Amino acid sequence: MSLAGVKCLVTGAGGFLGQRIVCQLLEEEEGLAEIRATDKAISSEALRRFGKQKTKTLLTTMQGDIRDAAFLHKAVQGVSLVIHTACIIDTLGHVDRQTLWDVNVRGTQLLLEACLRNDVQYFVYTSSLEVTGPNSRGDPIFNGDEDTVYQRTKTFPYAETKKEAEKSVLELDSQPLQDGSRFVTCALRSMFIFGEESPFLLLHLDETIQNDNVFYRMSRKEALVNPVYVGNIAWGHIQVAKAMRDPEKVQHIRGKFYYISDDTPHLSYADFTYELIKELGYGIAPKLPMPLTMLYYYALLLEIVSFLLQPFVRYIPTLNRPLLTLLNTPFTFSYRKAQRDFGYAPRYSWKEAKQLTGQWIAKIDPLRRAYLKNKAL
């Protein structure tokens, strides 16, 4: 099944993942009728990237807020497929809880309401591994799947909003539409995403340069995770969208969530980042700066200081206990069910993903060095 002739809305199209989804949709051999790329802001660089694609598909860019019901109503008119990636990612507390909730949860609910009012039939939601965990105890999962039982506990506000938004999406599956059809929804729980233009890799690169070219280790070697390449998670969205239009496959998909990973090696977050930057001559700290238990107490102290300073100044620690747990809990998942139910298979091998990411890092490395040097002057 193809997406030929489909009108598709991609939210968060200016973001790291959203841009890649739009580009892959534009590359489809059997072109879509229209792709509407929406975001609160779409950079000139993103527009340039979209413009490089040789396609007959109409690309419409729309700038607006996911919290604006009138904007969403306009954005979905005449559309049959929505791929919803727009959200705020925040693991340190830079964004207040209400804003996180309004964008990630209420924004998703408003989009769903607009879809139901306008007979949008298919809805793919970009969820997160953090909907599952890890929990506050740091209980590990090795090669888990959608049937893995895991006791979840309260965690980041970001993770809570993604959980609630995913619930809203999946609960509305099979809702009747005015044209007599039924709403089809599913959610893709992504691993940590890496690749060219990754804001997190850019942040890590800057920190490493400022630390005399040594990456600062904050995760144990045994805390294995399996990141996913941005080109593969984007491809997963397109593959599931195609399968939703298949009368046989859709019954296996509707109302369900899927873990999307690829063949990236299982490493700790720190060792994985090092794997991507080591060819540029960077090093990595051999161990944590202090024993893990002491790090937890240190993070707790930072949280207490942040709380006590609230009446006077806004202090956001660079480390907190949930983040430390996330970085030091073995947490890996298989994509077998996605492969079985809708034919997901990584579009890029680990070798290709590493090469493409490495080339991007090598290109921006001298630029970041010059920027940081000038910033320090």
Q: How wide is the angle at C-alpha 376 spanned by C-alphas 372 and 377, nearest 5°?
A: 120
The candidate with the shortest Cα–Cα distance to 333, out of 270, 241, 263, is 263
Catalytic residue selected from 125, 158, 274, 335: 158
Instruction: Tell me if the bond preceding 346 is cis, omega within 30° of 0.
Output: no
Q: How wide is the angle at C-alpha 292 spanned by C-alphas 287 and 294, nearest 5°?
A: 120
Q: How far apart are CA 162 and CA 72, in angstroms?
A: 20
Q: Is 158 a catalytic residue?
A: yes
Which residues are tagged catalytic?
Answer: 158
